[in-house]
Amino acid sequence: MNQVATNTDCRHRLHTALGQIDALMSRPVYDALFDAVARETPDHILEIGTAHGAGTIAMALGAESRGAATRIQTVDTLEALADIPSSRADYGDAKANEDIVRGNFDRAGVASRISLFVGRSDVFAASQSPGDPMIGMLVLDADGRIDRDLLLFHARMTRNCLIVVDDIDGDVGASFTRGGLSLDLKHVISEKLTSSLVAHGYLKLEKRVWNTSFFRAVDPQDWDEDEIRALAIACYRELVFLKAGTRGLFVSTAASLLGSNAVLRPFYGSARAIYRRLSRRPRR
Ligand SMILES: C[S@@+](CC[C@H](N)C(=O)[O-])C[C@H]1O[C@@H](n2cnc3c(N)ncnc32)[C@H](O)[C@@H]1O
């Protein structure tokens, strides 16, 4: 009975937190992260792509609902860099974002089990030492460089490590900017890389929730890094002459046109909120 009450309380705290912070995935995905941690209680979770901490909080509360000692390490640049854009740039510099993230962890009551590293995933990887704990769950929601992050961390992954990858619907994003048209192929490359790794037996697909897939790492200690690099290059080559659906392209282009027009922006904002509510589509 107590266990049920604790689980309900933790889930309620998660949903309250999601209403207060800039959460970039959909509620069913946060619930699925909560459930996965509550079910498996991994000792150590690594997340690449914290943003304002919504996923981190979901996982921390999943652990708390089971009274587990799970620790979470979460990594984010928290600012745009020359080669990595970041939606966090809308909220100020890295320090301003770090204050927001730490405030969100405090308010959700989960700060004590989380370590935040502000910087790129490769810089974080370089700071690791051989005695660092094995990773039982890895969450990738950064810049689509799934190959880079899997190669950086596979040696620390447990057998059958749960790997969660967001943005794998293959949609092309497009928006009008002052300089012209900006294309976002993160969803395309994430889908291609994960499909290729599944096809070659490195990952096993367990389930998909909205745009987010849950995989198992098959024997990550034995992975052939050269083969993974070769598979990744083949995927990146497919971007040169890309065949993609037009649905996502049209929606994001029209959205950026309307959103950048000062007269239409208020109507567009309300219409988008109503559409999201009705369709329960995730925020982008
Ligand atoms: C889509 S958001 C993450 C959303 C988050 N998981 C949530 O639940 O709201 C992607 C984040 O990844 C970060 N990022 C992108 N590339 C990165 C990299 N190479 N290393 C660390 N962080 C990165 C960006 O700064 C951005 O905040």
75 lines ligand 1 (CB under 6 A): yes
Quickly count: other Cβ atoms within 10 Å of residue 152's Cβ.
18
Rounded CA gap, 62 and 69, in Å?
Answer: 11
Pocket test for ligand 1, best of 21, 87, 105, 140 (most atoms within 8 A of CB): 87
143 lines ligand 1 (CB under 6 A): yes
Instruction: Give the architecture (CATH level 2) of 2-279.
Output: 3-Layer(aba) Sandwich (3.40)
Residue 131, helix vs strand vs coil:
coil
Residue 168 to residues 45, 104, 190: CA-CA distances in angstroms? 21, 27, 5
pTM over 0.75: yes
Residue located nearest, by CA, to atom 14 of ligand 1: 142
In a structure prediction context, what are the per-residue pLDDT tens digits for the chain, which is 284 residues long? 455 559 999 999 999 999 999 999 999 999 999 999 999 999 999 999 999 999 999 999 999 999 999 999 999 999 999 999 999 999 999 999 999 999 999 999 999 999 999 999 999 999 999 899 999 999 999 999 999 999 999 999 999 999 999 999 999 988 888 778 889 999 999 999 999 999 999 999 999 999 999 999 999 999 999 999 999 999 999 999 998 877 767 677 777 666 666 666 666 666 666 665 665 544 44
Nearest CA among 68, 72, 61, 71 for reference residue 12? 61
Q: Where are the domains of the chain?
A: 2-279
Residue 229, helix vs strand vs coil:
helix
24 lines ligand 1 (CB under 6 A): yes
**If you compute the radius of gyration of the chain from its CA atoms, what whole number of angstroms results?**
19
